[in-house]
Structure 1
Amino acid sequence: GHTYDVARILLSLALWGWFKETRVLGRENIPYRKPVILTHTNMVMDPLVLGVHMPYGRQLHFWAKSTLFSNKFAAALLTALGAVPVDRKNKDNASLFAGTIRTLRNSGVMAIFPEGTSYTLPHMMQLRDGLSWAALQHALEMDEAGDGQRTATIVPAGITYVHKQKWRSMAIIMYGAPMDVTSYLAEFRQEPRSAVKRLTRDIDTELHRVTINARDWDTMHAAEMARTLLVPDEVVLAEDYVKLMQSLVSVLQDLDDHPDVVKLQTQLVKYRSLLETLRLSDLDIASFAHENVGVIGVTVSLVARSLKLLVDLPLFLPGLLFHFPIFLIARAVDRLEPYEECKAQDKVFASIAVLPILYGLLFRYLWSFSNYSVVGLLVAVSLTVTFIVYHTALVDDRYEHFTSVVAAWRMFKAV
């Protein structure tokens, strides 16, 4: 509906502003019209990213607590946005998944995270069986109605955020191989729980193929540091990022009894910790690799980069000042939000809330110059859109240049 379309446009703008690039892999695994169950991991950000980048522009539906639908206005809004009520206290599966099965019956797309809870661990938690129950009950209903061709397909969706707490980072959406639910129906008729457990195990296996999982954060951080040293530019690596990262994690975990591997992981973690202390990245260090890393060399580099930034500043300053409130909010989130995994989603939500206000005020200010005439309306719209495009076109190069100056300043203080 129109409400969903408007929400999707706002989310698109916010995510477009936050992520430098969102790469979608495996689009061919999403059917054009058939019902689909997308199974993904648990961050609040995931359904937002999936909804914006859903192939063929299909509307995404997701579970929401049934108590949120007690208010008529809230229920209408949530339904328009794609929410499907679920009463987790209800032990009757037919009632529990009635809304989900109805959505699938209408060839809809459901996004469900089978872990059923949020967490800040570097690996998936044990999956719950709710998704499998819903999928098999829907498949059974379609089969008994003689309409097995319209049985929902389960598609694992892995979303990997590269430095997701950082502005202008990258997201990778990977749709895995579709899972045919009908092959579980014979067992489901005889032994429902056994079939459900088997499907859940298979979903877990397929989700692991499209996500990165490590047993602890030290292993994950060491693997990421190794990846940075091997292939600094993650955008170039996007197609194979998940595979490479999981391979590095597996090497560190499988050879954790080898002294050299233990030493390597320790050094990688220490190097990462040192970079965090200096507030530098490995790319910052690499940029000085061919320079004289002494007081004179670093000073020359700092002055040269600063002068270049000053030359570019008049082009970048209007956009910087205009969006300054969002930068302040982002800094506040960094200080107040204790979990790294939650910082990005908080910043995106803040952007969704603040950006329409800022651009609305800009539009009204520009329109006021023509005493709110029809011609002035068209001019104001054109100028506002031009400003958005202008800022977005310049922001990446100028931001990278700005961070290089900051890095040079920190290197200057370090030496």
Structure 2
Amino acid sequence: MPFGIGHEIVCLISRSALWSFFADIKLQDEHNVPNEGPLIVAATHHNMIVDPAILSVTFPEQRRLHYWAKDSMFKNSYAAKFFDNCGVVPVDRKTKNNAQLYAATYRVMRLGESIAVFPEGTSHTLPRLGTFKDGTSFAALEYAKLLEEDPRPNPDGSLPRRANIVPVGIVYPEKSKYRSVAIVKYGTPIDVEPYMATYREEPKKAAKQLTADITSAIEALTVNAPDWESRDAAEMARWVLFPGENGSMRDYISVTQSLINAVNDLSQTDQDISLLKQSLRSYKLELDALALKDVHIAKYNEKDITAASTTIELLRRTLASLIDLPLFLPGLVGHLPLYIAGYYAGKFEIYEEVRAQNKIVLSLFLVPFIYVLAFIWGWLTLFGGTFFGFFVALATLGVFVWYHVTSIDERYESFKDLVGRWRLFDAVVLGRGMWRRKERILQLKKLRDVNVAGVRRMIKTYKSKNDDVHAVWLAIRSRVRQFGDPAKLHGRKKKLAKQFEWAFEG
């Protein structure tokens, strides 16, 4: 099944949408993906249509991916032609016969092409992977069996090959947040040959075994917790251990998973860790309730939150934003409808796994109108509607869009920080709002101090006794070594190094 222009258009739109929504999409261990032969790419599915979009535009070696869709979607001739053009493969869900169920899939794989599937079946927001279905396993095993029964060459003379299964973990530290990060981690391909003897005798048993192994492989590529308490506690432990880092961490997956394992395991035998786990969760929930980030409280880690310090910090941040505003204002005004639409698209969606999709789709709908209007205004107003001005206006619009997207990250982080400073100012200085917010913030600062001390104590106590804690300690020490001599540091790097002082020795 060849790919047509429809596939290229969809990928182009997806690439543009992802570039504007995510600050970065990090690929890890992409060398694990074979550069030839048919593949079944089994990926996590936590973010609706964002998942296939990311896979399609970032898959190594620019290999194209087919996707499954129920065959009823192909009943309309125009829809069928479009889906075929995009490389979508129909699946007959009404039959119990695997050879018939995946017939179109097998035709694709005989040509050496690849299918991307989501074994969890549906998108979700859980602290760990969902239950994997056996469809991926049956497709791979039945195809291998068919090749044994029918090994004849393809029409082009090439010999068909079995399809290896490539496990993929798509991890989103903040999956519904604008300008967040996505991490795509590839695992070692799984060969179906070891399962074939069992499959010939007991197909269901072999499929279950393969599904279990696919699940284990993808678990190793992702972040999984037994419950939200463990997940939230580990996330906050990571925030206080690695200030200034979140999804930007090169070792986000391994560090976060090690912290989940450590907090969950040690809390079973150590009462202090059990209390720390509860305290970290409480800290996160209170931050969320006050719409604050750890960085806002961390600023006051060594001083009281006073009216003077809060006001000074707010004025400093506000002045810096005002100085930078003239350079960023045109792009901000031009894209303001997108930001407003994205805000409300996320605000009124109750399912987190749908929010990013809604924001992206709504923005894609609005972008043509905004950019066409901006182009017409620029061409007629700035360049007099001339023939030469048409091309200058077009180039100007391209630069305008590029500059805004590439420069927005620092400004957006500054804006979020400024909003947090205003909330602190409102609570501490103006004393407005219900639920005694000033007292809650002061208590939050004390709770953070307790958590920071507790997490550091856990690391120092168990760094030589627990493998997961030891892995986190090595990650911390790698940061410390990068600072070099603390006496020679200046500015922001010196402030950051100060928060790692506790780990400089040992």
TM-score class, shorter: over 0.9
1:384 partner amino acid: L
Deviation (angstroms), 1:292: 5.8
Which of the residues 208, 213, 225 maps onto 2:219? 208
Which of the residues 41, 46, 53 maps onto 2:58? 53
Question: Secondary structure of 1:156's partner?
Answer: strand
Check 1:96–1:374 CA distance in 2 against 1; reply closer, same or farther (3 A cut): farther
Aligned match of 1:31: 34
Aligned match of 2:230: 219
Check 1:291–1:316 CA distance in 2 against 1; reply closer, same or farther (3 A cut): farther
Aligned match of 2:21: 18
Contact 2:21 2:179 survives alignment (8 Å): yes
How far, CA to CA, are the matches of 2:351 and 2:27 in structure 1?
26
For residues 54-111 of structure 1, what are the alpha-carbon distances to aligned partners after superposition, in whole Å with 9 as ceiling and x for unaligned?
1122222111122211212222222222321113222121111111111211222211
Aligned match of 1:184: 195
Larger Rg belongs to: 2
Aligned match of 1:389: 402
Does residue 164 in structure 1 map to residue 175 in structure 2? yes
Check 1:72–1:367 CA distance in 2 against 1; reply closer, same or farther (3 A cut): farther
Contact 1:366 1:380 survives alignment (8 Å): yes
Which of the residues 412, 417, 423 maps onto 1:399? 412
How far, CA to CA, are the matches of 2:192 and 2:293 in structure 1?
46
Q: Percent identity?
A: 40
Aligned match of 2:143: 138
2:62 partner amino acid: G
Check 1:256–1:82 CA distance in 2 against 1; reply closer, same or farther (3 A cut): farther
Aligned match of 1:173: 184
Does residue 2 in structure 1 map to residue 14 in structure 2? no
Aligned match of 1:281: 293
How far, CA to CA, are the matches of 1:377 and 1:140 in structure 2?
60
Aligned match of 1:413: 426
Question: Secondary structure of 2:172's partner?
Answer: strand
Contact 2:223 2:253 survives alignment (8 Å): yes
Does residue 331 in structure 1 map to residue 336 in structure 2? no
Contact 1:35 1:104 survives alignment (8 Å): yes
Deviation (angstroms), 1:146: 6.4
How far, CA to CA, are the matches of 1:354 and 1:16 in structure 2?
16
Which of the residues 376, 388, 398 maps onto 1:375? 388
Deviation (angstroms), 1:372: 6.7
How far, CA to CA, are the matches of 2:246 and 2:404 in structure 1?
24
1:239-250 residue pairs with structure 2 within 5 A? 240-250=251-261
Which of the residues 358, 365, 389 maps onto 1:346? 358
1:57-206 residue pairs with structure 2 within 5 A? 57-144=62-149, 145=151, 150-206=161-217
Question: Secondary structure of 2:55's partner?
Answer: helix
How far, CA to CA, are the matches of 1:342 and 1:257 in structure 2?
35
Contact 1:292 1:298 survives alignment (8 Å): no
Check 1:82–1:368 CA distance in 2 against 1; reply closer, same or farther (3 A cut): farther
Task: Indicate the larger mover: 312-321 or 351-360.
Answer: 351-360
How far, CA to CA, are the matches of 2:118 and 2:247 in structure 1?
27
Does residue 298 in structure 1 map to residue 301 in structure 2? no
Contact 2:111 2:160 survives alignment (8 Å): no
How far, CA to CA, are the matches of 1:62 and 1:356 in structure 2?
27
How many pairs does the alignment contain?
414
1:150 partner amino acid: R
Contact 1:11 1:52 survives alignment (8 Å): yes
Deviation (angstroms), 1:264: 1.2
Which of the residues 278, 289, 304 maps onto 1:266? 278
How far, CA to CA, are the matches of 1:58 and 1:220 in structure 2?
35
For residues 24-61 of structure 1, what are the alpha-carbon distances to aligned partners after superposition, in whole Å with 9 as ceiling and x for unaligned?
00111112222111111223221111112111222221
Check 1:83–1:374 CA distance in 2 against 1; reply closer, same or farther (3 A cut): farther
- What's the TM-score, normalizing by structure 1? 0.93
